[in-house]
Chains A and B, each alone.
Chain A
Amino acid sequence: MPKPPASNPPETPSTQDGSQTEAPTEAGRAAPMVSRRNFLQGLMAAGATVAFFSTEMARAQSDLFRASDISDETLLNMYDRMLEIRWFERTLADRTATGNVRGFTGHYSAGQEAVAVGASFALRPDDYVLSTHRAHGHALAKGVDMNALAAEIFLKADGLNGGFGGSMHLTDPSVGFLGADGIVGPGASFGTGVAFASKARGDDRVTMTYGGDGHWASPHFQSALNEAAVAELPFIYLIENNGYLQYAANDMIRPVDTYTSVARSMGIPAAEVNGQDVLEVYNAVTEAAERARSGGGPTFIEAKTYRYYVHSGAAGVREGELGSFGPDPLLINISRRPEREVRSWLAKDPLAIFRGTLQEFGILDDNAAEERLQAARARVDEAYVFADASPAPEPEGGLDHVFAGQRAPPRHIL
């Protein structure tokens, strides 16, 4: 019986986390059949003139271009990483809703996993990434240790940053994660500086800054793009358009429909991608990284995605259920998130889409999907156990790290 093409959303959305229980398909039950992907790879090996190396034709036939350069193992790693991010954020949201957290735990990125994972896997481990205040997914995708991440969010001594910064300042230069940032906008300018220094050294690293809808109107937005273009910097500016900047819908703050307009006007290659599809994001960032590494300068990418929770906090969250619904007391009155809006995006869930794709490729069946889900949940649970058990920092520790190698003299004690 004909299967729906992998690029359409599945028909039966229930729990959209890879734990969905649609009717078992022939691909899941039968002996391994040749997947469409294998078939195409076979064609290539046979020397068929597949329109594969022509980027434009490949784009027009996006199924052909998908994931050809990614091994099965890497595809599954990407899936695992998305699962981990999803369950990390869901756990945090649920615990926040039930009052079982320490620290500031409000900016969840559940729903945006495909952007973080697609982008991070398209970059090299030694490339640099700068993030926003909604950074947990970005950090995990880049390779930050999950235990240290959870402990830092809970402001514990074993946290990634010693409990000094928490959720909005997660930083781990050892994996190229130059940090979450609590201030909207300057990450783009910092990123161009990283790219500038990188280029000056003659290394071939790429720097990518994530931004949100709130970046558009920042003075840093145009500044960074201008300088990146003029100096031909190896820089990728990736805006996650999730429809909102804090509580305002993004149509309130821009006179044009696309964030790519400024980049295009400066001659910077720009792309709008479906941020729910991890492989589309992967492809776009791969192309941008190749351009950057070969001296071709910056790229701007707008990825359309959605966050299932409100801007900050756990208003409308019911434990065990994905997403937040109902009134958010902090919502600006003229801009609301209707329940159907949230549910229509749940129907285009990035995990469900990728699961469907991997099933289409014949590398993931229902049993394997369930196993991977449980393994991801176990890793997440372990991280929170670690965070809960980690001690709080020493009170006098706040005198450290003002300047290198010295303690600040306390001035509140006579």
Chain B
Amino acid sequence: MPIKGWYYAQLEAIQHEMRNDDSMIFFYELTAPRANVPERIDLEEEFGRARVYNSSINEMWYASAAIGAAMIGSKVVAYIPYQGGTIPFDVIRQHAGKMRYKTGGMASVPAVFLIEESSQSPTLGPQHSDWDLDVYYAHMAGIKTVVPSTVHDAKGLMHAAIRDPDPVVYINPGRLRGYTQDVSDDPFEVAVGEAAVRREGSDLTVVGYGPVMPFISSVAETLEAEGASLEVIDLRSLFPLDRETLVASAEKTGRVLSVEAGKYTYGVGAEVLASVMEAAPGTVGRRIAYTDAPPPAAPEMYNWLQVTEQRVLDAARKVLQT
């Protein structure tokens, strides 16, 4: 299988779906939907401006336009760069999420909102290096929220999201954009609502998603050498949340550590721990997350606040001793 980059794999999925459905539309701003390796993909060149539309800088508009288009049955992907990640919040909340429900099933919004999170780098400052919108969308009624952590899942979740009859917020971790992986040319789906057990273990379950998965994998390797067996779960889907996989793992290991790039209070960790401890009381549950603060610009301060591999390792060791 060819080696593909993250964005390439996503474009390949979108291209396939657009070839199979003449009415499908792609809205974007700033970043052209184009990649060159291993093959050239250029959505605008292939499908034209009537279907691949470079909007003015107005995420609110084209997220809304995506909702309108989807209401008459056109599949849509609307790419929202991280700077505008919460600008369409209200139309996604009040209209996309509630459309099927408020019409008693008479109307629906089969749209994908491909919303970036920043690449989380120092020096850019608080508005451009944050990770903070996943739970806002995950909490919305009528919205499915997914976050891939591998190139394979980036492609598979894109196919699944586009084919889903309901609105999907597909969160794109900027930090993982540089990843490459062997990925099939063929279309395939990674089901929405299914977590992945990346590694089986018996002493401690570490749960994460998106940009922290590489750290967790690394930590599992390190601790294995020290004689600890970690089970690693990649959530992939924040809503619907795969509680079945989480609880089964908690029952097996008795210890759960949640790791996330988002903020601590009301974060994904809160939901993960509540879910496992309700169903498997007696589980030792802990979480680490980003502090309830924006990220600073200066690298000394920025780097110190990060959820890093070292922080995950330290936390895992502590939980193993509990």
Q: CB within 8 Å of B: which residues of A?
A: 128, 130, 159-165, 169, 171-173, 178-179, 181, 183, 186, 189-201, 207, 219-220, 223-224, 226-227, 230-231, 400-405
Contacts and interface: CB of A to CB of B under 8 A. Distances in A.
Interface of B: 22-23, 25, 50-51, 53, 55-56, 58, 60-62, 64-72, 74, 76, 90-91, 94-95, 100-108, 141-142, 144, 165-166
A164 B102 contact: yes
B60 to A, nearest CB: 7
A193 B88 CA distance: 14
A223 B70 CA distance: 19
B68 A220 contact: no
A190 B68 contact: yes
Given A173-B71, A190-B67, A403-B166, A227 B56 contact: yes
Given A190-B64, A190-B95, A220-B60, A197 B72 contact: yes
B101 A193 contact: no
Nearest to B87: A219
Contacts of A404: 100, 108, 165-166
Given A189-B65, A196-B69, A402 B141 contact: yes
A179 B106 CA distance: 10
Contact of B68 (A192, A226, A231): A192
A288 to B, nearest CB: 18
A196 B71 CA distance: 12
B107 A179 contact: yes
A167 to B, nearest CB: 12
A301 to B, nearest CB: 19
A404 B58 CA distance: 30
A398 to B, nearest CB: 9
A178 B107 contact: yes
A379 to B, nearest CB: 23
B104 A227 contact: no
Contacts of A191: 68
A402 B106 CA distance: 12
Nearest to B71: A178
A194 B23 CA distance: 12
Contact of B22 (A164, A201, A227): A201
A194 B69 contact: yes
B74 A201 contact: yes
A223 B58 CA distance: 8
Interface centre among B64, B95, B105 (most CB of A within 10 A): B64
Given A189-B65, A197-B72, A227-B58, A172 B108 contact: no
A401 B69 contact: no
Interface centre among A160, A161, A200 (most CB of B within 10 A): A200
Given A173-B107, A227-B58, A194 B100 contact: no
Given A194-B69, A197-B69, A223-B60, A401 B104 contact: yes
Contacts of B108: 404
Task: Name the 3 nearest CB pairs between A and B, nearest first.
Answer: A193-B68, A162-B104, A193-B65
B72 A169 contact: no
A231 B53 contact: yes
Given A223-B60, A223-B61, A226-B56, A402 B101 contact: yes
Contact of A186 (B95, B105, B141): B95
A25 to B, nearest CB: 47
A198 B72 contact: yes
A165 B102 CA distance: 5
A178 B50 CA distance: 22
Given A179-B107, A404-B165, A200 B23 contact: yes
Given A190-B67, A190-B95, 6 more contacts: A160-B106, A163-B104, A169-B102, A223-B60, A223-B61, A405-B165
B25 A161 contact: no
Contacts of B74: 197, 200-201
A169 B90 CA distance: 17
A330 B122 CA distance: 52
B60 A161 contact: no
A328 to B, nearest CB: 27
Contacts of B61: 189, 192, 220, 223-224, 226-227
Contacts of B50: 199-200
A178 B142 contact: no
A223 B103 CA distance: 26
Contacts of A198: 72
